Amino acid sequence: MHMSDRVAAVVPAAGRGERLGGSVPKALRSLAGRSLVQHAVESLTSAALVDQVVVAAPTAELDAFAALLGPGVQVIAGGAERIDSVRAALAVLDETVGVVLVHDAARPLTPPALVDTVASAVLAGAPAVIPVLAVNDTIKQIDDTGRVVRTVPRDVLRAVQTPQGFRRDVLDDAYRLSATLPPEVAITDDAGLVEALGVVVMTVPGAQEAFKVTRPADLVLAEALLAHR
Q: Which pLDDT tens digit goes with each residue over 122-148?
A: 999 999 999 999 999 999 999 999 999
89: pLDDT strictly greater than 80: yes
Q: CA 210, CA 163: separation in Å to the nearest integer?
A: 9
Q: Structure pTM?
A: 0.94
Tell me if residue 108 falls in helix, strand or coil. coil
Domains, the chain, ranges and CATH? 6-228 (3.90.550.10)
Percent of the chain whose predicted confidence (pLDDT) is above 70: 99
Q: What is the band of 2 on the pLDDT scale with cuts at 50, 70, 90?
A: low
Helix (H) or strand (E) holding 37: helix 36-45
CA quadruple 112, 178, 3, 132: dihedral sign:
positive
Phi and psi at 99, nearest 5°, equal -130, 135
Determine the Cα–Cα distance for residues 163 and 131; give it in Å rounded to an integer.
7
Q: What is the per-residue burial (b if ≥16 Cβ within 10 Å, else e) of 160-179?
A: bbbbbbbbbebbbbbbeebe
15-68 pLDDT tens trace? 877 777 777 888 999 999 999 999 999 999 999 999 999 999 999 999 999 999
End-to-end CA distance of the chain: 43
